[in-house]
Amino acid sequence: MLRERVFNTSTRLFTSCTAAFAAVIAFCALMPEASAVHLNNHVVSLLGKYLCFALLALSIDLVWGYLGILSLGHGAFFGMGGYVMGMYLMREIGNRGMYANAELPDFMVFLNWKELPWYWTGSDSFPFVCLLIVAVPGLAAFVFGLPAFRSRVSGVYLSIITQAMTFALMLAFFRNEMGFGGNNGLTDFKSLLGADIHSQGMVVTLFALSALALIMAYLVCRVITTSRLGRVFIAVRDAESRARFIGYRVEYVKLAAFVLSACIAGIGGALYVPQVGIINPGVFSPLFSVEMVVCVALGGRGRLYGAVIGALAVNFIKTWFTTAFPDIWLFFLGALFVLVTLFLPEGLAGLPTALRRRLQGKTP
Amino acid sequence: MSPDFNPWEKDLLDSLEDNSDLKDNVLNLLEDYYSQPRGMRPSRRVSAPPKNLRADNRILLYLENISVSFDGFKALNRLTMYVDEGELRCIIGPNGAGKTTMMDVITGKTRPDRGQAWFTREHNLLRLDEVAITQVGIGRKFQKPSVFEALSVLHNLDLAAKGAKSVFAALRARSCAGEAAFLEQTLERINLQDNRDTAAGKLSHGQKQWLEIGMLLMQKPRLLLLDEPVAGMSPSEVDRTVDLLQDLEGEQSIILVEHDMEFVRAVARKVTVLHQGCVLAEGTMEEIQQNPAVVTAYLGEAQC
C-alpha cells in the first residue's frame, strides 16, 4: 500500500533517472584516463556539488511548495551541516597542516589560541559528527521556528526574519573570534576517514553518496507528502485558519516540516564541503539562499522533482555563464526568473503539461 | 488495578472503598477512558465549575456580560445570551453590531475584556485556545468560504473528521479509515456525492459553502457557528441550504448569523437582534418585526 502510494510515475522516473545518471557518471569516472568517455575528478566533484544544491532545493520545496513557508535563509541550515563536516575534516588534517600542530587547526595556531574551544569537542569522532550534521540544523530550526510559528509570524514577515537569521550568522561567522576560521572558513582538507580526499575513489564515493542522499531524501519527502500529514500541509498552505478551526495545531505542523527540511539541508551541506574543499561564511549570505529559492521557482514548486530539476538546470547554466560572461550572471538569473514566472508559472517541471495543453489548443 | 491510573485517580478509588457501587462506576469510566488510544481521549481539562452562571441544564452556551473593545470602540458591550442544546438560533443586526466579534469570542480568536463564556458548565471558553475549543465540540464556518482548494472534496472532509490530529497521528493515519460510512452520509447530506474527487477549488461558490458545512459536520460538533452561509448563493441553492439546516436542527445547536431576512424567516424559531454590541431583542421572527426598538435600530439610532 505504501509502495502504491509513494511510487507513482514521476517518482519512479525520478529515482531511476537519478540512479542511472549517477551510475553513468561513476562508470565514466572509473574508466581509464585514455578512454574517450573518461571524466576527471574535477567534473565529478562539480556534478556532486550540483546534487548537494539539489538537496537544498528539495528541502526548500518541502516547506515552500507544500506549506507555503517561503524561507529566504535555508542556506543557513546547509551551512551548519557544512561547517560541522568542515570541523571534522579540519581535525583530520592533524599534524599535516602548515604549523604541524596535531591538536589545533592552522587558523587557531595563527590566532595564538592554546586549546580547542569547547564546541569543537567531539569533532574528531566521525559518528558523532554524522549525528551533529542533522542535529545542529534541526535544533536551530526548532529554536528559530518554535517562537516564530507560535506567534503566527507568516508570509513575507517570516521570509524577512529567515533572511535576517542567515545574515546575522554570516556576520558572526566572519569574525575570527567565533572559532570557525573567520573570513577564510575551513579549508585545506586532506583526508576523510583516513582516505585521501582528492583520490579518485573518494571523489566517486562522495558523488555516489550525494546521489543516494538525494534519492533517499526525495523518498522521505514523498512518503510524508502523500500521507495524511501531506494533505494537512496543503490544508495549512491553502487555508491556515480553516485548518486551525478543524482542530490542527498549525504551529506544530509547520515546525515539524521546518525541522525536517533543515535536517535535509544540513545533509546537503555536509556532502558539499568535502567535494568543494572549502566552507566559508559565503554560504550564509542571503544571496545564496535567494538563489536557491529561485532554483525552486524555476523548476516548479510543490512537486519535489521540480526543485531538483531547477537546481541542476540553474547551476549548469551558472557554471557555463559565469565563465563566459561573469559580469552579467545576476542580471541573467533575474531575467530568467521573470520570464519563467510570466510564461511558465508552474516552472520547468510544468512544461510538459503546458505543452500538452497548448497542443490540444486549450487555454491554460 | 490498571497501572495507568495516575495518583489522584488512585486516591479517588481508595476513598470510594466503602461505596462499592460508586467505585465500580468510577472504575468503569476510567477504564473506558484509558481503553481509547491516547490521541483519541477526550480532553480532561475541565475548569472549576462556574458559581454564578445561570443554572439551567438545557443551556449549552453561556455568554454573560461579555465586553470587547478595540481602541476604545466597544464592539461588544455587556452582551448576555444563552443558547440551548439542539437549538437553531439566528443572530441578526446591522453592520458593526458585533455579530462576528461574538463568534470570535466563542471560538477563542478574540479575548473579551470582561465577562464569561462557558460551553456547558464544564468548559471555560476563555481559558481554551482555538484548537481546544474545536476539540470540545464547537465548529465554525467563516463568512468567506474557506476550503482546501487543492484537495479533493473527499480529502477535505477526511481531514476534518473527528480523531487524533497531532503531527505524528497524521503521518501514521491511513486515509479515510474507519469513518468511511459517516463520510458517505455527510457527502450525501451536503449533496456533493457526485463531486467526491473534484478539487475543492473547482466547485461553485454555493458548493464550497456546503463543503465547509460538511467539514464541520465531520467533527461531530455540539455547536455549529455559521457566519452568513447563504451569502452569494442562488435562490435554489438557498432552498437546499434551508433544507440542510432544518435537517440538522435538533442534532446539534446552531448559531446562524445572517443578513438575508427571507432565509432567517425560513429557518429560525428564535431570533436575537444585536445592536451596538448588546442584545436589543430576542424572540420569534414575528415578535422581532413588531418590536419598535428593532425597527428604529434598522432605520436609525436606538439605545439599548
Asked if A228 lies within 8 A of B160 by C-beta distance, the reply is: no
CB neighbour class for B132 (10 Å; exposed up to 12, middle 13-18, buried from 19) = middle
pLDDT at residue A341 above 60?
yes
Residue A364, pLDDT above cutoff 50: no
Q: List, in sequence order, every beta strand (DSSP E) within A110-250.
A: 186-187, 191-192, 195-196
Predicted pLDDT of residue A352: 86
What's chain A's length in residues?
364
A237 chain-B contacts, CB cut-off 8 A: 150
Checking if the pLDDT of A363 tops 70, the result is no
Dump the DSSP string for A99-142. Answer: T--SSS-HHHHHTT--S--GGGTTTT-HHHHHHHHHHHHHHHHH
Domains of chain B: 88-98+131-299 (3.40.50.300)
Contact: B139, A245; criterion CB under 8 Å: yes
- Check A244 against B142: CB less than 8 A apart: no
ipTM of model? 0.84
- Tell me the pLDDT tens digit for each residue of A280-336: 999 999 999 999 999 999 999 999 999 999 999 999 999 998 888 888 888 888 898
- Is residue A163 over pLDDT 90? yes
Give the residue from chain A lying closest to B173, CA to CA: A228
- How far apart are the C-alpha atoms of B5 and B118, rounded to whole Å? 29
* Residue B47 pLDDT: 53
pLDDT tens digit sequence for A235-292: 999 999 999 999 999 999 999 999 999 999 999 999 999 999 999 999 999 999 999 9
Say whether residue B104 is in contact with chain A using an 8 A CB cutoff: no
**CA-based R_g, chain B, Å:** 22
C-alpha cell at A246: 478543524
- pLDDT, one tens digit per residue, over A130-151 is 999 999 999 999 999 999 999 9
Instruction: Give the distance from residue B1's alpha carbon to the nearest chain A alpha carbon, in angstroms.
Output: 34
Sheet holding B223-227, edge to edge: B138-141, B223-227, B253-257, B88-92, B270-275, B278-283
How far CA A20 is from CA of A7, A13, A215, A248, A312, in Å, comes to: 17, 10, 12, 41, 16
Q: What is the pLDDT of residue B42?
A: 62
A223 CA: distance to closest CA in chain B (Å): 9
- Residue B179 DSSP SS3: coil
Banded pLDDT at A2 (limits 50, 70, 90):
confident
Percent of chain A whose pLDDT exceeds 70: 99
CA distance A173 to A179: 8
Residues 6 or more apart in contact with residue A171 via CB below 8 angstroms: none
Higher per-residue confidence, A85 vs B250: A85
Contact B159 A231 (CB under 8 A): yes
Per residue in A27-71, pLDDT tens? 999 888 888 888 889 999 999 999 999 999 999 999 999 999 999
Residue B176, pLDDT score: 47
The backbone torsions φ and ψ at residue B303, rounded to the nearest 5 degrees and listed phi first, read -105, 140
Give residue limits of the domains in chain A: 2-359
Give B150's contacts in chain A (Cβ within 8 Å).
234, 237-238
User: What is the spatial distance between Cα A340 and Cα A88, in angstroms, rounded to a whole number?
Assistant: 41
Tens digits of pLDDT across chain B (304 residues):
455 677 777 788 888 888 888 888 888 888 877 777 776 666 655 555 566 667 777 889 999 889 999 888 888 989 999 998 888 899 988 888 888 899 999 999 999 998 889 998 888 899 898 999 998 999 999 888 899 999 999 999 999 988 788 888 888 876 545 578 888 889 998 989 899 899 999 999 999 999 999 999 998 899 999 998 888 888 888 888 888 888 887 788 999 998 778 888 888 788 999 988 888 888 888 888 888 888 887 765 545 5
Question: A237: distance to nearest CA of chain B, Å?
Answer: 8
Residue located via cell numbers 482555538: B130
Whole-number pLDDT of residue B40: 67
Interface probe with A: pick from B104, B107, B146, most Cβ of A within 10 Å? B146
Query: What are the distances in angstroms from CA B239 to CA A49, A155, B88, B206, B262?
Result: 62, 39, 17, 11, 11
Residue B44's pLDDT is 57
* Chain A hits for B173, Cβ within 8 Å: 227-229
Minimal C-alpha gap between B151 and chain A (Å): 7
Place of cell 526574519: A161
Asked whether the beta carbons of B109 and B281 are under 8 A apart, the reply is no
